[in-house]
Structure 1
Amino acid sequence: MSDTSTPEGKSKKGGIIKILLFVIGGLVLVGVGLGAGFFLFANNVTPSEEIDMIIERKLQEAGQLPPPEEEEGEEAGPTRMAKPVEETGTFITSYYEFPGNFTTNLRGSRKFLQVSIGVSTQYDETVVQNVETHQLALRSEVLGVISEFTEEDVQGKDGRDAIAARMRDAINAKLEELEGFGGIEGVHFTSFVLQ
Protein backbone atom coordinates (compact mmCIF):
# COMPACT_ATOMS: atom_id res chain seq x y z
CA MET A 1 0.00 0.00 0.00
CA SER A 2 1.08 3.44 -0.54
CA ASP A 3 1.39 5.78 2.27
CA THR A 4 -0.03 9.20 1.58
CA SER A 5 1.52 10.63 4.66
CA THR A 6 4.95 10.52 3.16
CA PRO A 7 6.30 13.69 1.66
CA GLU A 8 6.17 12.09 -1.77
CA GLY A 9 2.43 11.36 -1.49
CA LYS A 10 1.62 14.87 -0.33
CA SER A 11 3.43 16.43 -3.27
CA LYS A 12 1.44 14.28 -5.72
CA LYS A 13 -1.83 15.44 -4.17
CA GLY A 14 -0.67 19.06 -4.15
CA GLY A 15 0.40 18.83 -7.80
CA ILE A 16 -2.96 17.41 -8.86
CA ILE A 17 -4.82 20.10 -6.90
CA LYS A 18 -2.70 22.81 -8.53
CA ILE A 19 -3.41 21.38 -11.98
CA LEU A 20 -7.14 21.18 -11.24
CA LEU A 21 -7.14 24.78 -9.98
CA PHE A 22 -5.37 25.97 -13.14
CA VAL A 23 -7.80 24.07 -15.39
CA ILE A 24 -10.87 25.31 -13.49
CA GLY A 25 -9.49 28.88 -13.39
CA GLY A 26 -8.80 28.75 -17.13
CA LEU A 27 -12.34 27.48 -17.82
CA VAL A 28 -13.81 30.26 -15.65
CA LEU A 29 -11.76 32.90 -17.53
CA VAL A 30 -12.84 31.49 -20.91
CA GLY A 31 -16.47 31.50 -19.76
CA VAL A 32 -16.24 35.09 -18.52
CA GLY A 33 -14.62 36.16 -21.83
CA LEU A 34 -17.30 34.42 -23.90
CA GLY A 35 -20.07 35.94 -21.79
CA ALA A 36 -18.63 39.44 -22.05
CA GLY A 37 -18.14 39.02 -25.79
CA PHE A 38 -21.72 37.87 -26.17
CA PHE A 39 -23.10 40.88 -24.31
CA LEU A 40 -20.85 43.31 -26.18
CA PHE A 41 -21.15 41.97 -29.70
CA ALA A 42 -24.36 39.94 -29.85
CA ASN A 43 -26.67 42.70 -31.07
CA ASN A 44 -28.94 41.81 -33.96
CA VAL A 45 -28.18 44.99 -35.91
CA THR A 46 -26.54 44.62 -39.30
CA PRO A 47 -23.81 47.09 -40.26
CA SER A 48 -26.10 48.89 -42.72
CA GLU A 49 -28.81 49.25 -40.05
CA GLU A 50 -26.21 50.59 -37.63
CA ILE A 51 -25.08 53.17 -40.22
CA ASP A 52 -28.72 54.19 -40.77
CA MET A 53 -29.18 54.63 -37.01
CA ILE A 54 -26.04 56.80 -36.78
CA ILE A 55 -27.14 58.97 -39.71
CA GLU A 56 -30.62 59.35 -38.23
CA ARG A 57 -29.19 60.33 -34.84
CA LYS A 58 -26.87 62.92 -36.46
CA LEU A 59 -29.75 64.40 -38.47
CA GLN A 60 -31.85 64.61 -35.31
CA GLU A 61 -29.01 66.38 -33.51
CA ALA A 62 -28.73 68.84 -36.39
CA GLY A 63 -32.46 69.53 -36.22
CA GLN A 64 -33.15 68.18 -39.69
CA LEU A 65 -35.31 65.33 -38.39
CA PRO A 66 -37.81 65.37 -35.55
CA PRO A 67 -36.56 63.76 -32.33
CA PRO A 68 -37.57 60.16 -31.68
CA GLU A 69 -40.95 59.69 -30.03
CA GLU A 70 -40.52 59.44 -26.31
CA GLU A 71 -42.33 56.91 -24.19
CA GLU A 72 -45.29 58.13 -22.19
CA GLY A 73 -44.67 58.80 -18.55
CA GLU A 74 -41.19 60.22 -19.05
CA GLU A 75 -40.83 63.86 -18.28
CA ALA A 76 -39.76 65.52 -21.45
CA GLY A 77 -37.53 68.54 -21.32
CA PRO A 78 -37.52 71.20 -23.99
CA THR A 79 -37.81 69.71 -27.43
CA ARG A 80 -36.41 71.00 -30.65
CA MET A 81 -38.89 72.38 -33.08
CA ALA A 82 -38.00 72.07 -36.72
CA LYS A 83 -38.15 75.37 -38.50
CA PRO A 84 -39.88 75.10 -41.86
CA VAL A 85 -37.47 75.86 -44.66
CA GLU A 86 -38.50 76.79 -48.15
CA GLU A 87 -37.30 74.29 -50.67
CA THR A 88 -35.15 75.84 -53.31
CA GLY A 89 -34.22 73.93 -56.38
CA THR A 90 -30.54 73.60 -57.01
CA PHE A 91 -29.70 74.30 -60.60
CA ILE A 92 -26.81 72.68 -62.37
CA THR A 93 -24.94 74.84 -64.84
CA SER A 94 -23.96 73.10 -68.07
CA TYR A 95 -21.12 74.42 -70.19
CA TYR A 96 -20.25 74.00 -73.83
CA GLU A 97 -17.01 75.24 -75.38
CA PHE A 98 -16.93 75.90 -79.09
CA PRO A 99 -14.03 74.08 -80.71
CA GLY A 100 -11.34 76.27 -82.26
CA ASN A 101 -10.98 80.02 -82.24
CA PHE A 102 -13.07 82.85 -83.66
CA THR A 103 -10.90 85.30 -85.57
CA THR A 104 -12.16 88.40 -87.39
CA ASN A 105 -11.12 91.95 -88.04
CA LEU A 106 -12.47 94.79 -85.96
CA ARG A 107 -14.56 97.57 -87.49
CA GLY A 108 -12.46 100.48 -88.79
CA SER A 109 -9.17 98.84 -87.78
CA ARG A 110 -6.41 96.73 -89.28
CA LYS A 111 -6.32 94.68 -86.05
CA PHE A 112 -7.87 91.28 -85.53
CA LEU A 113 -9.61 89.89 -82.49
CA GLN A 114 -9.15 86.20 -81.81
CA VAL A 115 -11.31 84.64 -79.09
CA SER A 116 -12.24 81.21 -77.83
CA ILE A 117 -15.64 81.03 -76.16
CA GLY A 118 -17.87 78.78 -74.18
CA VAL A 119 -21.52 79.15 -73.27
CA SER A 120 -23.41 78.24 -70.11
CA THR A 121 -26.99 77.39 -69.28
CA GLN A 122 -28.95 76.19 -66.29
CA TYR A 123 -31.63 74.65 -68.45
CA ASP A 124 -31.51 70.98 -69.36
CA GLU A 125 -29.09 69.34 -71.77
CA THR A 126 -31.40 70.12 -74.70
CA VAL A 127 -29.96 73.64 -74.90
CA VAL A 128 -26.40 72.30 -75.12
CA GLN A 129 -27.50 69.78 -77.77
CA ASN A 130 -29.12 72.61 -79.76
CA VAL A 131 -25.87 74.59 -79.59
CA GLU A 132 -23.91 71.57 -80.85
CA THR A 133 -26.42 70.90 -83.62
CA HIS A 134 -26.43 74.49 -84.90
CA GLN A 135 -22.78 75.22 -84.23
CA LEU A 136 -22.08 76.41 -87.79
CA ALA A 137 -24.89 79.01 -87.76
CA LEU A 138 -23.91 80.14 -84.25
CA ARG A 139 -20.25 80.58 -85.26
CA SER A 140 -21.41 82.89 -88.06
CA GLU A 141 -23.47 84.94 -85.58
CA VAL A 142 -20.52 85.25 -83.18
CA LEU A 143 -18.18 86.42 -85.97
CA GLY A 144 -20.78 88.98 -87.05
CA VAL A 145 -21.01 90.36 -83.51
CA ILE A 146 -17.23 90.64 -83.11
CA SER A 147 -16.85 92.48 -86.42
CA GLU A 148 -19.28 95.21 -85.22
CA PHE A 149 -16.91 96.30 -82.42
CA THR A 150 -14.06 98.78 -82.76
CA GLU A 151 -10.63 98.49 -81.22
CA GLU A 152 -11.59 100.96 -78.48
CA ASP A 153 -14.83 99.06 -77.75
CA VAL A 154 -13.00 95.85 -76.81
CA GLN A 155 -10.52 97.42 -74.39
CA GLY A 156 -10.75 96.38 -70.74
CA LYS A 157 -13.19 94.26 -68.78
CA ASP A 158 -16.17 96.44 -69.69
CA GLY A 159 -15.45 95.90 -73.38
CA ARG A 160 -15.23 92.12 -72.94
CA ASP A 161 -18.45 92.09 -70.92
CA ALA A 162 -20.21 94.10 -73.67
CA ILE A 163 -19.03 91.68 -76.37
CA ALA A 164 -20.10 88.68 -74.24
CA ALA A 165 -23.57 90.16 -73.68
CA ARG A 166 -24.02 90.88 -77.40
CA MET A 167 -22.83 87.35 -78.29
CA ARG A 168 -25.27 85.86 -75.80
CA ASP A 169 -28.14 87.84 -77.30
CA ALA A 170 -27.16 86.91 -80.87
CA ILE A 171 -26.80 83.20 -80.01
CA ASN A 172 -30.16 83.17 -78.22
CA ALA A 173 -31.85 84.95 -81.13
CA LYS A 174 -30.48 82.42 -83.61
CA LEU A 175 -31.45 79.46 -81.38
CA GLU A 176 -34.96 80.88 -80.98
CA GLU A 177 -35.21 81.19 -84.74
CA LEU A 178 -33.99 77.62 -85.31
CA GLU A 179 -35.36 75.74 -82.28
CA GLY A 180 -37.94 78.03 -80.72
CA PHE A 181 -35.94 78.53 -77.51
CA GLY A 182 -32.56 80.13 -76.69
CA GLY A 183 -31.58 79.29 -73.12
CA ILE A 184 -27.97 80.53 -73.15
CA GLU A 185 -27.35 82.50 -69.97
CA GLY A 186 -23.69 83.35 -70.29
CA VAL A 187 -20.83 83.60 -72.77
CA HIS A 188 -17.35 83.01 -71.34
CA PHE A 189 -14.01 83.74 -72.94
CA THR A 190 -11.36 81.05 -72.67
CA SER A 191 -8.94 83.19 -74.67
CA PHE A 192 -9.06 86.81 -75.83
CA VAL A 193 -6.26 88.10 -78.07
CA LEU A 194 -6.16 91.45 -79.89
CA GLN A 195 -3.48 91.49 -82.64
Structure 2
Amino acid sequence: MANVTIDGSQKKKGGILKTLFQLIVACGLASGGFVAGQFFAQSTMSPADEVLRLIEETGSDNVHDSAGNTPQKVPRDLPDAPVFETQYYEFPEPLTTNLKGSARFLQLGIGLSTQYDEAVLRNVQTHRMALRSDMLAVISSFTEEDVEGTAGRDALSVALRDAINNRLERLEGFGGIEGVFFPVFVMQ
Protein backbone atom coordinates (compact mmCIF):
# COMPACT_ATOMS: atom_id res chain seq x y z
CA MET A 1 0.00 0.00 0.00
CA ALA A 2 1.41 3.47 -0.93
CA ASN A 3 1.98 6.16 1.69
CA VAL A 4 -1.09 8.40 1.58
CA THR A 5 -1.63 11.56 3.61
CA ILE A 6 -4.94 12.63 5.12
CA ASP A 7 -5.92 14.75 2.10
CA GLY A 8 -5.31 11.80 -0.22
CA SER A 9 -2.01 12.91 -1.84
CA GLN A 10 0.97 10.61 -1.80
CA LYS A 11 3.72 11.23 0.74
CA LYS A 12 7.18 11.96 -0.71
CA LYS A 13 9.84 9.36 0.00
CA GLY A 14 13.38 10.22 0.99
CA GLY A 15 12.59 12.90 3.60
CA ILE A 16 14.91 11.29 6.12
CA LEU A 17 17.67 10.80 3.53
CA LYS A 18 17.40 14.40 2.41
CA THR A 19 17.62 15.66 6.00
CA LEU A 20 20.56 13.37 6.73
CA PHE A 21 22.36 14.61 3.59
CA GLN A 22 21.79 18.26 4.62
CA LEU A 23 23.12 17.53 8.09
CA ILE A 24 26.29 15.92 6.67
CA VAL A 25 26.86 18.87 4.32
CA ALA A 26 26.36 21.35 7.19
CA CYS A 27 28.86 19.46 9.38
CA GLY A 28 31.34 19.37 6.51
CA LEU A 29 31.05 23.12 5.96
CA ALA A 30 31.40 23.85 9.68
CA SER A 31 34.48 21.66 10.05
CA GLY A 32 35.98 23.18 6.89
CA GLY A 33 35.46 26.66 8.34
CA PHE A 34 37.04 25.57 11.59
CA VAL A 35 40.10 24.14 9.83
CA ALA A 36 40.45 27.29 7.69
CA GLY A 37 40.15 29.48 10.79
CA GLN A 38 42.84 27.49 12.54
CA PHE A 39 45.13 27.76 9.52
CA PHE A 40 44.79 31.54 9.28
CA ALA A 41 44.94 32.06 13.06
CA GLN A 42 48.27 30.28 13.38
CA SER A 43 50.27 33.13 11.92
CA THR A 44 53.97 32.86 12.63
CA MET A 45 54.24 36.54 13.47
CA SER A 46 52.10 38.70 15.75
CA PRO A 47 50.84 42.01 14.33
CA ALA A 48 53.27 43.89 16.58
CA ASP A 49 56.19 41.81 15.31
CA GLU A 50 55.03 42.37 11.73
CA VAL A 51 55.01 46.15 12.27
CA LEU A 52 58.52 46.03 13.75
CA ARG A 53 59.71 43.95 10.79
CA LEU A 54 58.24 46.49 8.34
CA ILE A 55 59.85 49.38 10.21
CA GLU A 56 63.23 47.65 10.11
CA GLU A 57 62.88 46.97 6.37
CA THR A 58 61.93 50.54 5.49
CA GLY A 59 63.54 52.30 8.48
CA SER A 60 66.79 54.18 8.34
CA ASP A 61 67.77 53.14 4.79
CA ASN A 62 65.06 55.29 3.26
CA VAL A 63 65.28 58.35 5.54
CA HIS A 64 67.49 61.14 4.23
CA ASP A 65 67.62 64.86 4.80
CA SER A 66 67.59 67.41 1.99
CA ALA A 67 71.35 66.95 1.42
CA GLY A 68 70.93 63.18 1.05
CA ASN A 69 72.50 62.38 4.42
CA THR A 70 71.09 59.76 6.73
CA PRO A 71 70.45 61.23 10.20
CA GLN A 72 72.48 59.78 13.05
CA LYS A 73 70.89 58.46 16.23
CA VAL A 74 71.40 60.76 19.18
CA PRO A 75 71.43 59.16 22.63
CA ARG A 76 68.96 60.66 25.08
CA ASP A 77 70.27 61.78 28.41
CA LEU A 78 68.22 60.30 31.21
CA PRO A 79 67.47 62.54 34.16
CA ASP A 80 69.50 61.91 37.29
CA ALA A 81 66.46 62.50 39.49
CA PRO A 82 64.96 59.30 40.85
CA VAL A 83 61.57 58.25 39.50
CA PHE A 84 59.04 57.48 42.19
CA GLU A 85 56.49 54.73 41.77
CA THR A 86 52.95 55.53 42.89
CA GLN A 87 51.31 52.77 44.90
CA TYR A 88 47.59 52.45 45.53
CA TYR A 89 45.41 50.90 48.20
CA GLU A 90 41.63 50.54 48.03
CA PHE A 91 39.55 49.91 51.14
CA PRO A 92 37.66 46.67 50.52
CA GLU A 93 34.22 47.91 51.63
CA PRO A 94 32.64 51.25 50.75
CA LEU A 95 31.82 53.74 53.50
CA THR A 96 28.18 54.79 53.95
CA THR A 97 27.03 57.66 56.19
CA ASN A 98 24.37 60.38 56.38
CA LEU A 99 25.32 63.85 55.25
CA LYS A 100 25.17 66.73 57.74
CA GLY A 101 21.67 68.23 58.05
CA SER A 102 20.20 65.90 55.42
CA ALA A 103 18.19 62.71 55.17
CA ARG A 104 20.37 61.71 52.23
CA PHE A 105 23.38 59.51 52.62
CA LEU A 106 26.68 59.20 50.80
CA GLN A 107 28.33 55.91 49.87
CA LEU A 108 32.02 56.12 48.96
CA GLY A 109 34.62 53.67 47.81
CA ILE A 110 37.94 54.99 49.06
CA GLY A 111 41.30 54.57 47.33
CA LEU A 112 44.62 55.96 48.57
CA SER A 113 47.91 56.71 46.84
CA THR A 114 51.47 57.19 48.04
CA GLN A 115 54.89 57.46 46.47
CA TYR A 116 56.60 56.31 49.65
CA ASP A 117 57.52 52.71 50.34
CA GLU A 118 55.21 49.81 51.19
CA ALA A 119 55.42 50.65 54.89
CA VAL A 120 52.84 53.42 54.42
CA LEU A 121 50.31 51.03 52.91
CA ARG A 122 51.06 48.42 55.60
CA ASN A 123 50.32 51.10 58.21
CA VAL A 124 47.02 51.85 56.48
CA GLN A 125 46.07 48.17 56.55
CA THR A 126 47.14 47.81 60.19
CA HIS A 127 45.03 50.79 61.31
CA ARG A 128 42.18 50.30 58.83
CA MET A 129 39.46 50.28 61.53
CA ALA A 130 40.61 53.56 63.11
CA LEU A 131 41.01 55.15 59.68
CA ARG A 132 37.48 54.10 58.65
CA SER A 133 36.11 55.69 61.83
CA ASP A 134 37.99 58.94 61.16
CA MET A 135 36.82 58.98 57.53
CA LEU A 136 33.18 58.45 58.55
CA ALA A 137 33.45 61.39 60.96
CA VAL A 138 34.86 63.61 58.21
CA ILE A 139 32.26 62.57 55.61
CA SER A 140 29.34 63.10 58.00
CA SER A 141 30.55 66.68 58.66
CA PHE A 142 29.91 67.59 54.99
CA THR A 143 26.52 68.79 53.68
CA GLU A 144 24.94 67.92 50.34
CA GLU A 145 26.05 71.26 48.94
CA ASP A 146 29.61 70.68 50.20
CA VAL A 147 30.09 67.50 48.14
CA GLU A 148 28.38 68.60 44.92
CA GLY A 149 30.54 69.10 41.87
CA THR A 150 34.23 68.59 41.28
CA ALA A 151 35.30 71.27 43.76
CA GLY A 152 33.23 69.64 46.50
CA ARG A 153 34.68 66.22 45.83
CA ASP A 154 38.19 67.67 45.81
CA ALA A 155 37.54 69.36 49.20
CA LEU A 156 36.26 66.06 50.62
CA SER A 157 39.32 64.27 49.24
CA VAL A 158 41.70 66.76 50.90
CA ALA A 159 39.82 66.56 54.21
CA LEU A 160 39.99 62.75 54.16
CA ARG A 161 43.70 62.79 53.25
CA ASP A 162 44.43 65.12 56.16
CA ALA A 163 42.42 62.99 58.61
CA ILE A 164 44.18 59.80 57.46
CA ASN A 165 47.65 61.38 57.70
CA ASN A 166 46.85 62.83 61.16
CA ARG A 167 45.86 59.38 62.46
CA LEU A 168 48.90 57.68 60.91
CA GLU A 169 51.25 60.36 62.29
CA ARG A 170 49.85 59.85 65.81
CA LEU A 171 50.10 56.05 65.58
CA GLU A 172 53.19 55.50 63.41
CA GLY A 173 55.01 58.83 63.40
CA PHE A 174 54.51 59.36 59.64
CA GLY A 175 51.49 59.78 57.36
CA GLY A 176 52.62 59.52 53.74
CA ILE A 177 49.22 59.45 51.99
CA GLU A 178 49.29 61.86 49.06
CA GLY A 179 45.94 61.30 47.36
CA VAL A 180 42.43 60.08 48.17
CA PHE A 181 40.24 58.83 45.32
CA PHE A 182 36.60 57.81 45.02
CA PRO A 183 36.12 54.76 42.79
CA VAL A 184 32.51 54.71 44.08
CA PHE A 185 30.56 57.93 44.76
CA VAL A 186 26.82 57.47 45.30
CA MET A 187 24.54 60.04 46.97
CA GLN A 188 20.97 58.95 47.68
TM-score category by the smaller chain?
A: 0.5 to 0.7
Residues 8-47 of structure 1 correspond to what in structure 2 (within 5 A)? none
Task: Give SS of 2:145's match.
Answer: coil
Q: Secondary structure at the match of 1:141?
A: helix
In structure 1, what is the equivalent of residue 115 of structure 2?
122
Give the TM-score normalised by structure 1. 0.58
Q: Look up the SS of the partner of 1:168 in the other structure.
A: helix
Match of residue 110, structure 1, among 97, 103, 114: 103
Q: What does the per-residue CA deviation read over 1:139-194, in whole Å, with 9 as the maximum and x for residues that have no partner?
A: 00110000000011111111100000000000000000000000000000001000
**Mapped pair 1:63 → 2:71:** no
**Aligned structure 1 segments of 4 or more residues deviating by more than 2 angstroms:** 60-64
SS for the counterpart of 1:109 is: coil
Question: Where does the alignment leave 5 or more consecutive residues of structure 1 unmatched?
Answer: 1-59, 65-83
Q: Residues of 1 paired with 2:123 and 2:139: CA distance?
A: 22
1:159 and 2:152 matched? yes
Q: TM-score, normalised by structure 2?
A: 0.60
CA distance in 1, matches of 2:186, 2:79: 45
Which residue of structure 2 aligns with residue 72 of structure 1? none
Which of 144, 152, 173 does residue 180 from structure 1 map onto?
Answer: 173
Aligned to 2:142: 149
Match of 1:91 among 84, 92, 115: 84
CA RMSD, 1 decimal: 1.4
Amino acid at match of 1:109: S
Kindly provide the amino acid, as one letter, of the partner of residue 62 in structure 1: V
Provide, for residues 43-91 of structure 1, a one-character-per-residue CA deviation record: whole Å limited to 9, x for no partner.
xxxxxxxxxxxxxxxxx94335xxxxxxxxxxxxxxxxxxx76511111
Counterpart of 1:113, as a letter, is L
Shift of 1:105: 0.4
Aligned partner of 1:136 in structure 2 is: 129
Residue 67 of structure 1 is matched in structure 2 by: none
Letter in 2 for 1:136: M
Aligned residue type for 1:97: E
Please tell me the residue identity of whatever aligns with 1:92.
E
Deviation digits for residues 110-160 of structure 1 (CA, Å, limit 9, x no counterpart): 110000010000000000000001000000011000000001111111110
- Return 5+ residue gaps in structure 2 as ranges: 1-71
Alignment length (residue pairs): 117
